[in-house]
Structures are given as structure tokens and as C-alpha cells.
Amino acid sequence: ADHRRTTEELLAESTYEKPNRALIEKEFDAARYNIISCTGKLPPNLQGVWGGTYVPGWASDYTHNGNVPSAIAANLMGNMPELMLAYTTYIESIVPWLEINAKHLFGARGIVLPSRTSTHGFNNALASDFAGGFWVGGAGWAAHFFYDYYLYTGDRKFLAEHALPFMEKAALFFEDYLYEGPDGKWVFSPTQSPENTPGNTKSQGTFNATMDVAVAKELLRNTIAASRELGRNQDKIARWQQMLDKMPDYMVDDRGIIKEWMTPLLANNDSHRHSSQLYPLYDGMPDEIARSPELRAAFRKSIEFKLDNHWQNNQSGFMSFGLVQLGQAATSLGDEELAYRCLTQLVNRFWLNNLASMHNHRSLFNMDISGGMPAVIIKMLVASDPGKLQLLPALPKAWPTGTIEGVLCRGQIEVRRLQWNPDGLECTLRSGKAQTVLLELPAVISEITVQGSGAKVAKGGSASQRKLTLPAARDVTMRITFQR
């Protein structure tokens, strides 16, 4: 019956304790509509194609230190990979400016993507109270999406002609920019943790920002993997691996929270709207965190602290994509209740009756959560890495039953339909290539049947895992019951 009610009625009835499910579905669909509508030759800027004024917020630019990555966050997993090409093409078009930024601001080769771009890519966001020009993680973050496009689609031509060349330029910058500290680890200086100021200084110009270090780690690992896939850069891989070996370690403060700067000299400012120190978990789980219970606990506690102390009683609300960052990290941890807490805030605070998404509490029109909120929802239900597929990895208790269709996964796999209930699930998959993947469920598997020519199932590493062999371009349907 709720599907036949107006958006105004659903918003009025929905609460943080019990968000209306029909409203969640409607906002999910509206978000996808918004992103599709404002993606063409160019990716979504802050206001998409609906600025409606000559003086839109922040000049309706491309803000790369959070807004743009949130706006495009669901393009791949939401089975719209063609939309990602608008982003990669735009980024490639401004590379000449990015090379000038690296050379003239840092004396380095390679590229630096500034925090904001518009008709040019000059890194000119510098003021006495804003050190955006010191942020060096931008090109590496963009490279994540270049490489991810290949992982989702398997497009080797794109990997060879677009992704790896861009990744090489981003890595080249760090070869020149980094220098050794007294402990033999690299020093990242200057840096800015996007728009935040440490709790014990008055300057955004800092060093060893956790986000920049995490970006560099991911970039180098991906560049090595892409080079090996294509048989390139054999003379450079050892250098990149040596760089990885000297990266600073993630740090935990005396409260058990991840530090935003990898140094005891700079204190966290956890009330800030960004959550840049959570970058390692925005879209997956790096091995070094997966192997460390201490780090996983610290990332989890960081999310809890921000929700409890910054968002819980903040009824005005600001910067919706800050909640997207928290939700993305929570889903990567597999923490369904933390992810759901983030989602309930997104559902109830940041949408108007016409289903336009907002930056602040029902004010300041912005595109970012139109991409970010669907990404959080999809990641609650499906997560993937090459060779691994997780179903219902962060399913909240509030959703005992449900269905999602058409999710794209890394490794060229489409979840054509996933339907679940407390006893188990039914899922239809279609792989673009013949492969064997590790299937992981949130509960012990009691029984599993697989239908589809060429499909096979074998034991996995645990009672909640199975090895699943998929044929190319054929539907495979699994029926799984959970152990009670």
C-alpha cells in the first residue's frame, strides 16, 4: 500500500527508528534517475544539469575530494559502466593541467588532480584557511575508478589504453614527491586531509595524511597488478614494490580510533564532516586491514564515534556524503547495523518531496548522494572482488526479506536476481567469462543446489563458503538454505 502513497506522506511518516521501506525504494530509484539524467559527455558536477541559477553552490564545479567520487560510486556496481566513461574521459582531458600542477607546485613528474576543477584543472585552491592545493591523493583516487572499470567489465583495451597509462602518471608523482624520514618510512609532505584541520593546530597544511598514504598504497598495488596483467613495466614493478614496503603504517590513537594523520604530533578532529581517514574501506577491504583485528576494530570504532558524537543529535545535519563515507566503510567491515544507521540518516534527512537530493538537511541541492546512497545499499547486499563474491555481507536485521536485481560485480559477474528470507536465498548469476569464484554467505550453508549448464559447486574454506564454477554467458541459479 505504501507504494501508492505520495512522497510527502512517506517522508512525513518515516523515522530514524523505522525508515519507511517504500521510501527507501523510491529514493533508490530516484537517485539512479538523477545520475543517469546528468551524465552525458561529462560526469555529474555538484548540481548535475539542474543548477537553476547563475550562482549555484560552490560554482557547481567538480569537487574531487569527496563529492564527485560519491556521485559516481554506484555506476559500476549499479550496472551502469557506460556512465563511468564520462568521468574517465573528463579526467583524461585535464591531464595537461595535472602535469603542470605536479611540476610547478611540487617539482615532480606525474600528475596532481586538485580538489576542485571546472573549465581547467589548475591546482589553485589555496587560501590562508584552505590548503586544498596540498591534497595529493586526487589522481590516485581517480585511478581507482579507472582500474575498477576494468575489473567490472573485463575491458582489456580500456586497461591498456586508458587505465594503466593514467595509473602510471599518478604513480610517477609519488616516485618524486616522497622522501624518507628518520625511521626509513616515506614522509608525505605537504598534505591536506580534505578540508579538515587537526585538533591541535590551526593549519590545514599538514603531513602524513592517512588518506593520501592509503591512496598511494592502493594505487601502487593496482598499478603492479595491471602491469602484470598486460605484461608491462617489468623494469618498474620492483621499484613500486619497494615503495610499498616503506609506506607508513596505519596508526590508532589512545581512544582506539584510526588517526587521520599518521603521526603522534597531529591530533584527530573527528567532528569534521569528512571521514577521509576511512578511505581504505570506501570500496573494499585491503589485506593488511583484513589480517589485523586491531585495525578493523579501530576503523569500526571510528565510525561509531562519529555517529554517536557528531550525527546522533545533529538534527540540522550537514554534508550528506560524509554519511556515505561512513556507510561505505561500515559495509566493507560487514557491520550491518552501523551501515543501517548511516542509511537511516540518508533516507530521512537529505531528500525533498520532489526527490531531489541535498547536501545539507533538505537544503542545498547536490548530486553526490544520488550516487552514494545506492552504493551503500548495494554494498549491504552484494560485495565483490576478482575471484570472490559475497551475498548479503551487511544485511540489516530490519530487512529479513527482500530482492535486488541487476547488480554488476568485479570479475564480469552480474547478479541478475537475488531474493532472500531468514531461511536462505535464491540467486541467479551470469558470468561474462568461464571462471571459478569463492562464494561467501553470512551464515552456515545447510544445503546448496545449482542449476545451469556447466555450473559446479565444491567445498570452500569454511562452512559459509563454497567454490562456484560458472560457465561463460549462461544463467546459473543457486538455491541455498541456511543452517538454523
Question: Cα separations (Å) of 407 from 13, 79, 414?
Answer: 30, 6, 6
Does the pLDDT at position 317 exceed 70? no
- Which pLDDT band, with edges at 50, 70 and 90, does 344 fall under? very high
Rounded Cα gap, residues 79 and 36, in angstroms: 12
- Rg of the chain over CA atoms, in angstroms? 22
Alpha-carbon dihedral sign for residues 327, 21, 407, 438:
positive
Rounded Cα gap, residues 388 and 467, in angstroms: 9
Task: Quote the pLDDT of residue 31.
Answer: 98
Looking at the DSSP bridge assignments, the partners of residue 422 are none
Does the pLDDT at position 145 exceed 80? yes
Does the pLDDT at position 316 exceed 80? no
Rounded Cα gap, residues 92 and 79, in angstroms: 23
Of 384, 460, 356, 480, residue with least CA distance to 34:
356
List pLDDT tens digits, range 427-457: 999 999 999 999 999 999 999 999 999 999 9
HSE-CB for 295 with a 13 A CA cutoff: 16
Grid coordinates of 106: 611540487
Do residues 213 and 262 touch, judged by C-beta distance below 8 A? yes
Alpha-carbon dihedral sign for residues 135, 136, 137, 138:
positive
Rounded Cα gap, residues 374 and 31, in angstroms: 7
Lowest mean pLDDT among 196-205, 228-237, 358-367, 377-386: 358-367
Of 417, 327, 427, 323, residue with least CA distance to 380:
327
| Phi and psi at residue 446, to the nearest 5° | -85, -45
Grid coordinates of 458: 565444491
Of 57, 54, 36, residue with least CA distance to 46:
57
Task: Quote the pLDDT of residue 96.
Answer: 98
Tally of helices (H runs) and strands (E runs) in the chain:
15, 17
Does the pLDDT at position 200 exceed 90? yes
Question: Cα separations (Å) of 431 from 148, 427, 470?
Answer: 17, 13, 7
- Which pLDDT band, with edges at 50, 70 and 90, does 238 fall under? very high
78-98 mean pLDDT: 98
| Phi and psi at residue 280, to the nearest 5° | -55, -25
Task: Quote the pLDDT of residue 54.
Answer: 85
210-225 mean pLDDT: 98
| Phi and psi at residue 409, to the nearest 5° | -125, 155
Does the pLDDT at position 166 exceed 90? yes
Grid coordinates of 28: 533508490
Please give the share of the chain, as a percent, with pLDDT higher than 90: 92
Helix (H, G, I), strand (E, B) or coil at 439: strand
Of 328, 350, 352, residue with least CA distance to 339:
328
- Which pLDDT band, with edges at 50, 70 and 90, does 312 fall under? confident
Lowest mean pLDDT among 109-118, 170-179, 308-317: 308-317
Do residues 13 and 348 touch, judged by C-beta distance below 8 A? no
Task: Quote the pLDDT of residue 128.
Answer: 86
**Which H/E stretch holds residue 468?**
strand 465-470
316-333 mean pLDDT: 90
List pLDDT tens digits, range 414-429: 999 999 999 999 999 9
Of 358, 278, 271, residue with least CA distance to 27:
358
Does the pLDDT at position 174 exceed 90? yes
List pLDDT tens digits, range 62-73: 999 999 999 999
- Which pLDDT band, with edges at 50, 70 and 90, does 57 fall under? confident
| Phi and psi at residue 192, to the nearest 5° | -135, 130
Question: Cα separations (Å) of 264 from 190, 200, 268?
Answer: 16, 11, 10
Rounded Cα gap, residues 180 and 246, in angstroms: 8
Total length of the chain: 484
Q: Which 8-state DSSP code applies to residue 9?
A: H
HSE-CB for 376 with a 13 A CA cutoff: 36
Q: Where are the beta strands (DSSP E) in 340-455?
A: 358-360, 363-365, 382-385, 388-391, 402-404, 407-409, 413-421, 424-431, 435-440, 445-451
What's the angle, vertex CA 326, arms to CA 322 and CA 327, rounded to 5?
Answer: 115
Average pLDDT score over the chain = 96
Cα torsion at 275, 338, 152, 80 (round to 10°)?
Answer: -90
- Which pLDDT band, with edges at 50, 70 and 90, does 347 fall under? very high
